[in-house]
Every structure is written in C-alpha cells, then in structure tokens.
Structure 1
Amino acid sequence: MERDSTSSPPLGVLVIGAGAIADLHVAAIAADPRCTLVGFADMSADRAHAAGHRHGGVPWTTDVDAALARPDVSAVVLCTPNDTHEELALRVAAAGRHLLIEKPLATTVAGAAAVAGEFARRGLVLSVAHSHRFYDYARTVHAEIASGAVGRPVLVRLALLGGWIWPDWRAWVLSPARSGGHALHNGVHLLDLVTWWIGRRPVSVYARGQRRTAAELDVHDYLEMVVRYDDGAVAICEMSRAHRPAALAQRDVVVQGTGGLLTLGWDGEGALLWDEKGAHTLDPGVAYGFTAQLGAWIDAVTTGDTRARVSGEDAVTAVALGAAAERSMAAGRPVEVP
C-alpha cells in the first residue's frame, strides 16, 4: 500500500494501550507531520479517558474492534502487555491496519511467526519497536561494521546497566507468564542489537540470571547472555535493572573484528575505532530513538521503503533468542536457537 506523502492527508494512527510507554510513541507521532493521533483504546476506561484528554481530547474507547473499524484509522501503535501482543496484533491484521508493536512481537516463537506471517500475507506493514536500533550509538556501530571498518566481527560485548524501572510489585512485567521473563522483555533489546550488528544467524544461547533486587522476584533482574553465530562469532550481553543508584544508566560496547577494534566506553557518546590507519573518533550523537523508529515505520507505510524498519522476520529471531535465553537459565546449559 503506497501513499503519496506530499499530497495525501496524514496517516491516522490509533494507539492501543495507554500506559507509560504510549506517551513516548505519541510524542513521536506528534513530531511527524505525515501522521496524526486519532484516538486511544484501552481496557481501562479511566486510563483511556485520561490519555485522550491529555493528548488534545482525541476519542477514546475500551472497544478495540470498534476503534479498528473507524474509517480514520489506517495504522496502529500497540503498547499493551506482552502476553496480549499475539492476539491483538492478529486483530489489527484482520482489520487491515498497519502496525507498529512494542517488543517483543509475542511471548512464543510460534506466536511471533504467526503474527509476522499474517501481516506478510495481507500485504500490511509490520514493524516492531526494538527502539535501541534507532539510537545513534547503535546505528554508528552498525554502520562501521557494515562498512568493513573492523573486518568480520568475531567478538561483540554489549552491556546496558540501569536501576529499578518498574513501579511496584504488582507490575505485570514481574510475572513470567505475562512478560515472558526478563530475557524476553528487556534482554531482547541486547539480543536484537548484537544480532543486527553481527548480521549472522544465531545458533545457541547460554544465559544465567540473578535476582539482585530481592529473592522474591519471579524474574531475573540481572542477565548475562552469550550468543554464538553460524560463522563462529560470539556476542556477550550483560543486562541489569538492579544496579544502584536507581538512576544509574551505563552502556559499554566492544566490537573486535578481523580488521579492527571499535569501543564505546561507559557513559560515552563518542566511539573510538582502531584499524590499520590508527585511531579515529566517531561521534554518534544523541538523536531520539522513538522519533526515528516511528519515521522508519511511516516510510514503509507511505513510500514502501522498508529498509530501516525492524521487520517481522527480525522480530521473530529476537523472540527466539529471548525464549532460548529463558530456557538456558532454567536448564543451566547452552540451548539451540530454533
């Protein structure tokens, strides 16, 4: 479905799920003149009403199917808990609407594949919100690897460390049945990134987790995950939501290739590349990832340019990695990625 973005009216976007993450997507919608927010749908009338009021008095409802049937709705941003993604995404596809869905695509590989397959069958644009791909640090690393600056990647290390981000003990993300576990809910950011950077097929995952905030947690809030790829490359991922102070946010990137070394140190916004020509400083900048992410989706919907969006196929791979990491932690050994 191609649209002429120079003459067509803005794409009408419905947001399903009016929780905290929805506000980040709505801000991105407001920043892109090619689309416009046309309403909210949420199972909570109070939450839907508050969101509609907060964002200019747009219509709101608790009836998802009625909202999807509105003629001014052409596309959907889905921001509901992970265990609802598969069912709601299939309803969006059945309604013939394009979809940007929060990660993970589903909590099972079979569910993710079913969603990706249905959107492909219907010729609709599906993009999955692996937002870290759209931050400039991640794009810089990807571009340098793709350019051949470090040769073939043989070892990648990515650490994202932070403090407690969940509101309280009632949060759905603390339930493995609802979130799929921390490796699928938050760890999937790292698993997707390193796989995107390396550009090869992952074959196994070996993971271990800890409950650092409290022994009573039902999910691991600290993860170490080792991914092996079909060409022998290895990625080491460290993910924490348990560090103190809670406002801590640190990131570390190392890419060792056959022809060079790229590093982006703790709290660093600049990357350093060593190759045969010596050391070079790279400036990845600080662009807002949610805006770039939405823009890539709108590009795919309006012009057919799907190069930048995170595809259903990529998202299925990310789910497979996250699910494999959860199985590895339970088994205490490496597991194959289906």
Structure 2
Amino acid sequence: MERHSISTGVLVVGAGAIADLHVAALSTDPRSRLAGFVDTSGERAAQAAHRNGGVPWSTDLAEALSWPGVDACIICTPNDTHERLAVQVATAGKHLLVEKPLATTVPGARKAAEAFAGNGLTLAVAHSHRFYDYARTVREEIRSGALGRPVLVRLALLGSWIWPDWRAWVLDPARSGGHALHNGVHLLDLVTWWIGSRPLSVYARGQRRTAAELDVHDYLEMVVRYESGATAVCEMSRAHRPAGYSGRDVVVQGTEGLLTLPWDGEGPLLTDERGTAPLDPGVAYGFAAQLGAWLDALTAPPGPAATEAGVGAEEALLAVALGVAAERSMALGRPVDLEEVL
C-alpha cells in the first residue's frame, strides 16, 4: 500500500468485544474501510461480518491477509497471541494496530517490534487512554510548563468487575500476563508519558479482593521511580463495589503548580501562585482519535508527521517492561529495576 493512499483497507483480527470499539472508530474516518474479520471461531467471525454489512470473514489469517484490498490489520485477540500474529502480519507486508500489550514478555515485544522495523511498515499499539480527553489535558499542561517539572503523579482508575465470567482468558496469567500487564499497563504507560522521564523501578502490591481463588490480582498499587527524581503512584481496581462503580482521580504536583482532575465532571483544575482556575478538558473519542493517529502515520509522507503519531514500538516495549516488572515485584515482594526485565 502507498503511504499516501486515501482509503486504507483494515482487516480486524479477533471479533470480540474490544473489536466492536475499533470497528466503530473505523466507521468515523473516511480514510479507512473495514476489509473483513478473522476469528478462530467461524460463528463469531460470521456474526461480526453480518453486523457490519456482510464484509468477508475467515478463520484463517494467512488466507485473509491475501485478500485484495487488505492494507493493514487491527489485532484484538488475547494477549498471548499478539507476538505471533504481529510477526505474521509483518511478514505479509501489512501495517498493524495491535491491542495492548504488544506481548506478554519483553523478548516477545522486541521480536514483534523488530518484525516491523526498517521495512516501511507502521506498528502502533493501542494504549487507548493516551487518546482520551483527561490524558491529553494533563499531557498538554505538563508540556506547557505551567506546572514546572513533575515531581509526583498520582493516577487512580477504579472500577467493578468487567470480565464476563470466571472462564475469561484475562483471568489466566499465562494468557494475559497478569493484571498489571493487561489493565495496569494503561496506568504505567500513561504516567510515564506524562512525566517524560526514563522509569527506573517499579514496586507493586496486588490483592485478590473479589475472591482468593482468582489467579490474577484484581486490585493493584504500583509505585514507579524515574530518572528525573519524579515518583508516580498508580492504583488500579477491577474489584470495587457496588457493581457498575467507576472512578478516576489524577493529581500532578510540579515544582511550579498543582493539577487535579477529579472524576466528578467538573473538569481539571490548575492551582499556581495566581490561584485556582478551571481548564478546558477538550473533546475527543479515544478510539477514534487513536485510529486517526495510526492513519496519520500510514498516510503521511515519511518524516516527523509519520513517525510521531500513535504509540510506537519503543514506547510499547517500555510499557511491557513496566507491566512485567510490576508482576515480578508482586511475586518477589520488592522493587524491581527496569534493567532486570529489559
């Protein structure tokens, strides 16, 4: 596919719930079109194809990658398949947007990244929280210098049970990589993006609040130290009650100011020597903005505009390392240096 192509044919691999969000985003951008579905379940693939205008479907990725008009893929499959499928997509010469994490191990993430490097193909990883209003607002305020240098970031994302039942693959650490890598990686990636410094270590604690029989921790506390001297404190829950509860809290303490962003809908507040003032959180739908960034990279001529859009391989590899370090920290009961896992 030429990078300046107007319409990018996108094959969606995996027809589960997260795929619906990506497909909805595809429908909003005229630069892309849904080229079909692949799923290990023929019934699931066929149903997804029928819901979306009768596009082609298959249970064979190799076959689908050979269809005319397939320029790129979005992978929405379980975490333990990402490395293998990413390499297959790269070998077929297609661009890729893959659900986070890039892989469940650092060597696996590196292998997937290397499959795309230097061959004119674009790899992006769906760290979708970067594309939501609150995350962009915090990033922009830090980059503007209004807060000075960040010294402490606290991010809490709290919610109730989201998985369909106890057989869900995300509850199997061999498939998901553990909760720190599957869901906690959202926070680890986001605070690192905000702070803009190299992470040095992760100290994590996990709890099984829903039931002791869980194979993953459904509540996480993670502390990350950075080269700049900053510290990030992350709290992630899929165990809060009552059912349907959802909460978020952001605090960024800088050398020149304090930013707070509560969940209550009033928007972020910036406090400095001039007093406290509200900020405009902006308006964006995260999955659509994420898709737009990926398409920017596919359709722009080679150069900064093509390389800066989206979450690329290097940042995605670092996110995997942070998630792996958090899981290792919980197992060992001590902080884990990033160099131990990289």
- Whether the 8 Å CA contact 1:137–1:269 is kept in 2: the answer is no
1:322-337 to 2 correspondence within 5 Å? 322-337=323-338
1:172-191 to 2 correspondence within 5 Å? 172-191=169-188
Cα drift, residue 2 of structure 1: 5.4
Q: Does 1:129 align with 2:132?
A: no
- Whether the 8 Å CA contact 1:269–1:284 is kept in 2: the answer is no
- Whether the 8 Å CA contact 1:209–1:220 is kept in 2: the answer is yes
Distance (Å, rounded) in 2 between the aligned partners of 1:55 and 1:199: 40
Map of 1:18 onto structure 2: 15
Map of 1:308 onto structure 2: 309
User: Residue deviations 1:266-304, cap 9 Å, x none?
Assistant: 333510011232222112145210000000000000014
Q: Choose the corresponding residue for 1:112, options 109, 113, 133.
A: 109
Map of 2:318 onto structure 1: 317
Q: Does 1:31 align with 2:28?
A: yes
Distance (Å, rounded) in 2 between the aligned partners of 1:118 and 1:307: 19
Q: Choose the corresponding residue for 1:43, options 40, 46, 71.
A: 40
Q: Choose the corresponding residue for 2:265, options 257, 268, 275.
A: 268
Q: Does 1:238 align with 2:200?
A: no
1:1-338 to 2 correspondence within 5 Å? 3-4=3-4, 8-304=5-301, 305=305, 306-338=307-339
Structure 1 residues not aligned, in runs of 5+: none
Q: Percent of counterpart pairs with the same letter?
A: 74
Which secondary structure does the structure 1 equivalent of 2:217 belong to?
Answer: coil
Distance (Å, rounded) in 2 between the aligned partners of 1:280 and 1:293: 29
Cα drift, residue 307 of structure 1: 2.0
Distance (Å, rounded) in 1 between the aligned partners of 2:259 and 2:298: 35
Structure 2 residues not aligned, in runs of 5+: none
Q: How many residues align?
A: 335
- Whether the 8 Å CA contact 1:159–1:253 is kept in 2: the answer is yes
- The residue type paired with residue 109 of structure 2 is A
Name whichever of 99-108 and 299-308 sits farther off.
299-308
Tell me the TM-score normalised to structure 2 length.
Answer: 0.96
Compared CA separation, residues 165 and 286, structure 1 to 2 (3 A)? farther
Which secondary structure does the structure 1 equivalent of 2:281 belong to?
Answer: coil
User: Residue deviations 1:149-176, cap 9 Å, x none?
Assistant: 1000000000000010000011000000
Which secondary structure does the structure 1 equivalent of 2:151 belong to?
Answer: strand
Cα drift, residue 9 of structure 1: 4.4
- Whether the 8 Å CA contact 1:207–1:334 is kept in 2: the answer is yes
- The residue type paired with residue 256 of structure 2 is G
Distance (Å, rounded) in 1 between the aligned partners of 2:141 and 2:270: 9
Distance (Å, rounded) in 2 between the aligned partners of 1:215 and 1:63: 39
- The residue type paired with residue 312 of structure 1 is A
Compared CA separation, residues 299 and 9, structure 1 to 2 (3 A)? closer
Distance (Å, rounded) in 2 between the aligned partners of 1:2 and 1:317: 30
Which secondary structure does the structure 1 equivalent of 2:118 belong to?
Answer: helix
- Whether the 8 Å CA contact 2:137–2:282 is kept in 1: the answer is no
- Whether the 8 Å CA contact 2:142–2:148 is kept in 1: the answer is yes
- Whether the 8 Å CA contact 1:269–1:283 is kept in 2: the answer is no
Compared CA separation, residues 269 and 123, structure 1 to 2 (3 A)? farther
- The residue type paired with residue 89 of structure 1 is A
